[in-house]
Amino acid sequence: PPIRPVVIATWQHGQAANARAWEILSAGGSALDAAEAGVMVTEADPEVHTVGRGSFPDRDGTITLDACIMNAEGNCGSVAALQDILHPVSVARMVMEKTPHVMLVGQGAKDFALAQGMEETDLMTDFSRDEWAKWKQGNPDYRPRINIENHDTIGLLTLDSNGDLAGACTTSGAAFKYHGRVGDSPIIGAGLYVDNEIGGATATGWGEAVIRACGCFLVVEFMRQGHSPTEACRLAVERVISKNPDWKDIQVGFIALNKRGETGGYCIQSGFDYAVQSPALANEMFAPDFKIE
């Protein structure tokens, strides 16, 4: 019999997001509501430095946020390069539910959020300002470092007690990125993909590499072919590797959840972990297999 409900999320802070999502799922709530509410915890946490408030800024000293969400009907919404709004995932959900569009970016996304009643919020903390000042001094040349300052995107997938799937992904992207840079996280099929017949996947790591491989769509397609979540993630990492000659210098990790409630993950380098809560798993951390140490 299928395992339900289930929530899986990237990184250690995935546990706090899972715990919130689980409250909703275990009370019979929808996969979509649980996915949104789960990642909102991370967005609001100033101690998580690559999601929402308190993040590393871009190289111009501005925090710009990317997020997306998908529901069981295959609908999706997304925002990119959004400034001054605490909950990008909720703006993404409103794009999905209240507009005929999938994606809004930059000032347009912010104008939309404000028109929907969201408040302008200063997302910069002392941490954000200090890190930016340090970075400016030490890095006249732009060179992002993976797995050091850049490894906290939250991607979260849910399966509710009705058997419906959803997912959400939200990030401030690569630390000290070019202003206006958009990563994989708000790109449907790259940083997140959900197909209610098969399963869902979400990604973390160097977004450019994930985009080149259409990473999360690929994970779901491998599951459609009959592969387990872990094997699907491994095959997608192999594809990322084959499309990115610099793969030894970057991290990419995928996690996946299928319609039966099975979960898994795989990454290029050790150091990535994820959290799973289900009737059988008490919000446990897993370190997936990886390609290189």
Catalytic residue positions?
Answer: 153
Nearest to 40 by CA among 71, 63, 19: 19
Question: In whole angstroms, how large is the CA radius of gyration of the chain?
Answer: 17
Min. distance of Cβ 225 from ligand SD4 in angstroms? 25
Owner of token pair 């690929």:
218
Total of chain residues touching ligand SD4, rule CB under 6 A = 15
**183 belongs to the binding site for ligand SD4 (CB under 6 A):** yes
Q: For residues 165 and 263, give the distance between their C-alpha atoms in angstroms, rounded to a whole number.
A: 13
Q: For residues 214 and 91, give the distance between their C-alpha atoms in angstroms, rounded to a whole number.
A: 23
CB 170 within 8 A of CB 184: no
Report CA-CA distances (Å) from 98 to 66, 89, 92, 116: 19, 14, 10, 10
Considering only 160, 184, 195, 262, the residue that binds ligand SD4 (CB under 6 A) is: 184
**288 belongs to the binding site for ligand SD4 (CB under 6 A):** no
Contact stretch for ligand SD4 (CB under 6 A) within 57-65, 98-106, 204-212, 258-266 = 204-212
Contact stretch for ligand SD4 (CB under 6 A) within 129-137, 202-210, 242-250, 273-281 = 202-210
Min. distance of Cβ 52 from ligand SD4 in angstroms? 13
> Using CA atoms in the order 235, 238, 240, 245, what is the torsion angle rounded to 10 degrees?
-170
Considering only 43, 152, 160, 221, the residue that binds ligand SD4 (CB under 6 A) is: 152
**151 belongs to the binding site for ligand SD4 (CB under 6 A):** yes
Q: For residues 217 and 201, give the distance between their C-alpha atoms in angstroms, rounded to a whole number.
A: 8
Per-residue interface string for the shown chain with ligand SD4, residues 206-225, x marking contact by CB under 6 A: xx------------------
Considering only 18, 71, 128, 153, the residue that binds ligand SD4 (CB under 6 A) is: 153
Q: Give contact residues for ligand SD4 (rule: CB under 6 A).
A: 50, 150-153, 171, 173-174, 183-185, 204-207
